């Protein structure tokens, strides 16, 4: 069941989203060669709690971290640990914050120091695919128009879209209906309505689209070991289009 939020609920979600965006802004200051992913996790948890929110992911289905920290060929759900970042790495940080009973959710992929032109192109295309999808987020349109726009843009640049992991509704629960695939034909699925809140989060691989889960039962990596990126915003459908809730 798709739950449309009231204006009052969306107002609370704006604050949850703002805290997520501020946390990204804070972590970006610390991303540098030599820092560990567990250090970034501690910074994020402290920052979120200082803003009267709680980390959405902490303890979620047993997840140990406050954020998901996925490096290089790691796509999503990377567990923060003692891994040190190196010059030229890329790191995807997926951050959730619960404020006033509602969640905000956003992921971004960052370069560590100077990165290769190939990795920068991967980041650019993945970010742009997100915004190509969001451009289709209009009341009355079908949900899969978002999906199709993302896939078309990424594949037109010779990158691959991951199919096993999708976006989702957001609200009192971190994951709500509907699922938001990042691939597929246009003009399918439910019609978008004002009050819907969606996390749209394309995951793009430099090589083949296939992924697997490591023995820790969390970390998802590309099967071919090539780089991948992940960009996500939480948006609310409005009377005329959409509003990004996880941007400053």
Residue 90 contacts residue 109 (beta carbons within 8 Å): yes
pLDDT of residue 4: 98
Tokens read off for 77? 């759900």
In terms of Cα–Cα distance, which of 68, 61, 18, 15 is closest to 220?
A: 68
pLDDT of residue 151: 98
Quote the CA–CA distance of 154 and 71 in Å, as a whole number: 20
pLDDT of residue 204: 98
The answer for residues whose C-beta is within 8 angstroms of residue 156's C-beta and 6 or more apart is: none
pTM of the model: 0.97
Calculate ∠ Cα 232-234-236, nearest 5°.
145
pLDDT of residue 142: 98
Tens of pLDDT along the chain (248 residues) come to 999 999 999 999 999 999 999 999 999 999 999 999 999 999 999 999 999 999 999 999 999 999 999 999 999 999 999 999 999 999 999 999 999 999 999 999 999 999 999 999 999 999 999 999 999 999 999 999 999 999 999 999 999 999 999 999 999 999 999 999 999 999 999 999 999 999 999 999 999 999 999 999 999 999 999 999 999 999 999 999 999 999 99
Tokens read off for 105? 């959710």
Residue 201 contacts residue 107 (beta carbons within 8 Å): yes
pLDDT of residue 180: 98
Residue 22: C-alpha distances to residues 82, 123, 149, 170, 186 (Å) = 24, 20, 28, 19, 34
The answer for residues whose C-beta is within 8 angstroms of residue 29's C-beta and 6 or more apart is: none
Quote the CA–CA distance of 78 and 90 in Å, as a whole number: 13
The answer for residues whose C-beta is within 8 angstroms of residue 236's C-beta and 6 or more apart is: 5, 10, 13, 195, 196, 197, 242, 243, 245
Give first-to-last CA distance, the chain, whole Å. 30
The arrangement of strands across the sheet holding 160-161 comes to 160-161, 203-205, 228-230
């Amino acid at each position: 069941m798709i739950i449309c939020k009231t204006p009052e609920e969306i107002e609370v979600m704006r604050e949850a989203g703002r805290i997520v965006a501020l946390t990204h802004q804070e972590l970006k200051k610390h991303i540098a060669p030599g820092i560990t992913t567990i250090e970034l996790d501690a910074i994020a948890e402290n920052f979120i709690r200082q803003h009267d929110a709680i980390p959405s992911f902490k303890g979620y289905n047993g997840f140990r971290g406050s954020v998901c920290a996925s490096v290089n060929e790691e796509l999503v759900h990377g567990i923060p640990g003692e891994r040190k970042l190196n010059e030229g790495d890329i790191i995807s940080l997926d951050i959730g914050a619960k404020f006033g009973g509602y969640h905000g959710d956003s992921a971004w992929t960052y370069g560590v120091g100077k990165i290769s032109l190939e990795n920068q192109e991967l980041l650019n295309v993945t970010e742009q695919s997100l915004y190509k999808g969001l451009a289709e987020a209009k009341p009355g349109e079908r949900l899969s128009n978002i999906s199709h726009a993302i896939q078309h843009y990424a594949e037109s640049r010779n990158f691959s879209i991951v199919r096993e992991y999708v976006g989702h509704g957001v609200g009192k629960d971190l994951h709500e209906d509907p699922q938001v695939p990042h691939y597929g034909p246009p003009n399918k699925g439910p019609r978008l309505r004002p009050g819907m809140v969606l996390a749209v989060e394309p995951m793009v691989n430099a090589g083949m689209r296939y992924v697997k889960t490591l023995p820790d039962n969390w970390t998802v990596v590309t099967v071919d070991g090539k780089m991948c990126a992940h960009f996500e915003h939480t948006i609310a459908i409005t009377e005329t289009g959409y509003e990004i809730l996880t941007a400053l």
